[in-house]
């Protein structure tokens, strides 16, 4: 017979309302990231989960005495080939994953053995528990779920500290010779026509920028032997929904135009003084010698500083250009836990033969891929 916690009520709510006032209040006082924002998770569960063959597994913890939300653990059940997995609500669109809970309440949960046992019972059954993209210094979810120690992933996140005024940040963050090079290329770009840079402020400008992003990214990723998530209707719908719902508060979509036509765009999330870049696109073929991407990121940094942002977060990925803007790496972590013999065999094989990671990644994406197309990349 299971023993229930005296302090918390813990249930699974598949249809949990992420747009509810109580979740917004919990999120605001939590240690969660932008990728657990109400708008982000609402759109992910309603627009992407069913197409990926994923079943919502939302662990909801409430204070027994008051009924107030204490923690929400946004998970999914997904069958990856023959393996039943439990993982964070990600579906390849999120960069940082975290429980939605304050540090203090999380510590209380860890001290409550019965609460931990109930959470672990509710997330079963699974062959493999996979928790990836855990930011450095965040809540130790491995302790809550009795999983193995976290290990660093083979990629990092990058962010640069912003200081005002813009000229001071540029001097401290960007190499002097690169500053001169960008200034020269910006002058060259201005000579090509009427150049403008702005932040989208209505649904029409959002649709225009996202549509151009889709057109520019398609050939680029296809040429690299990969595909792009924006080419798929459900993902384009997801990003469009997030952008429109969060515009002016949670989301910024920047566009650079030449003679009224979008030639570059950057989509990002605003969270606690940081702007997190999640997607970008540039007309590289039309402006091959202008370093359009670098010029766009410089303009984004300028606008962020003028708005009072303290951090420009380039999120996950070891692309060299990030260091050109003074971005520093921070590790990203993952935890795994086998829940069956099949899961233990799969986990052992991965640890013993690193070359299987690519095969495992492809297997994990089977439910996300349309027939006979390359693996998509955000």
What mean pLDDT, rounded, does the chain reach?
91
Distances from the Cα of 208 to the Cα of 47, 114, 231, 250, angstroms: 21, 52, 15, 19
- Residue carrying the six token digits 């702007």: 275
Does residue 181 lie in a domain region? yes
**Half-sphere exposure of residue 70: CA atoms within 13 angstroms, side-chain side:** 21
**In a shared domain, residues 133 and 215:** no
Q: Do residues 113 and 167 share a domain?
A: no
Q: Enter the pTM of the model.
A: 0.90
pLDDT at position 117 over 90: yes
Residue 318 inside a domain? The answer is no
Question: Domain for residue 87, yes or no?
Answer: yes
The C-alpha atoms of residue 282 and residue 240 are separated, in whole angstroms, by 18
- Structural domain that includes position 209: 163-309
Give the up-direction half-sphere exposure of residue 277: CA atoms within 13 A in the CB hemisphere: 26
CATH number for the domain that contains residue 267: 3.40.630.30
- Per-residue model confidence (pLDDT) at position 148: 87
**What's the angle, vertex CA 114, arms to CA 136 and CA 1, rounded to 5?**
140
d(CA 203, CA 106): 38
What mean pLDDT do residues 340-349 have?
80
Decide if 129 is inside a domain: yes
Quick one: 132 and 198 in the same domain? no
Same structural domain, 305 and 285: yes
pLDDT for 318 beyond 50: yes
Q: CA 206 to CA 245: how far, in whole Å?
A: 11
Q: What is the pLDDT of residues 269-302, one digit of tens each?
A: 999 999 999 999 999 999 988 999 999 999 999 9
Residues 136, 73 share a domain: yes
Q: Is residue 371 part of a domain?
A: yes
How much of the chain exceeds pLDDT 90, in percent?
82
Q: What mean pLDDT do residues 185-212 have?
A: 96
In terms of domains, do 120 and 184 share one? no
Q: Are residues 352 and 287 in the same domain?
A: no
Q: Where are the beta strands (DSSP E) in 65-218?
A: 69-80, 83-88, 128-135, 151-161, 195-199
Asked if residue 146 and residue 286 are part of one domain, the reply reads: no
Are 171 and 303 within one domain?
A: yes
Contacts of 163 (CB under 8 A, 6+ apart): 169, 172, 305
Say how many domains are in the chain: 2
Both 222 and 118 in one domain: the answer is no
**Average pLDDT score over residue span 47-74:** 96
């Amino acid at each position: 017979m299971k023993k229930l916690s005296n302090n918390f009520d813990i249930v699974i709510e598949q249809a949990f309302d992420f747009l509810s006032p109580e979740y917004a209040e919990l999120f605001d006082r939590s240690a969660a990231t932008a990728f657990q924002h109400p708008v982000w998770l609402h759109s992910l569960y309603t627009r992407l989960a069913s197409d990926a063959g994923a079943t919502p597994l939302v662990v909801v913890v409430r204070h027994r005495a008051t009924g107030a939300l204490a923690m929400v653990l946004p998970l999914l059940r997904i069958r990856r080939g023959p393996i039943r997995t439990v993982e964070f609500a990600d579906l390849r669109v999120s960069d940082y994953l975290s429980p939605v809970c304050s540090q203090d309440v999380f510590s209380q949960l860890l001290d409550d053995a019965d609460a931990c046992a109930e959470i672990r019972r509710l997330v079963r059954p699974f062959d493999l528990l996979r928790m990836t993209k855990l930011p450095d210094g965040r809540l130790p979810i491995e302790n809550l779920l009795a999983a193995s120690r976290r290990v660093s992933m083979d990629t990092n996140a990058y962010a640069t500290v912003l200081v005002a005024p813009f000229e001071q940040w540029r001097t401290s963050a960007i190499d002097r010779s690169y500053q001169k090079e960008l200034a020269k290329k910006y002058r060259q770009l201005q000579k090509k026509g009427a150049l403008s840079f702005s932040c989208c402020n209505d649904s029409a400008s959002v649709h225009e920028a996202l549509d151009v992003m889709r057109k520019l990214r398609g050939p680029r990723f296809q040429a690299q032997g990969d595909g792009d998530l924006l080419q798929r209707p459900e993902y384009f719908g997801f990003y469009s929904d997030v952008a429109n719902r969060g515009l002016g508060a949670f989301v910024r979509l920047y566009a650079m135009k030449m003679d009224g036509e979008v030639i570059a765009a950057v989509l990002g999330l605003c969270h606690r003084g940081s702007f997190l870049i999640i997607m970008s696109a540039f007309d590289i073929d039309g402006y091959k010698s202008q370093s359009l991407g670098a010029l766009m990121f410089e303009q984004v940094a300028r606008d962020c500083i003028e708005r009072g942002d303290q951090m420009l977060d380039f999120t996950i990925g070891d692309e060299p250009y990030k260091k050109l803007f003074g971005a520093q790496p921070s590790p990203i972590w993952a935890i795994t836990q086998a829940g069956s013999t099949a899961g233990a065999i799969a986990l052992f094989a991965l640890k013993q033969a690193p070359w299987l990671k690519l095969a495992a990644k492809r297997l994990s994406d089977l439910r996300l891929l349309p027939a006979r197309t390359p693996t998509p990349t955000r």
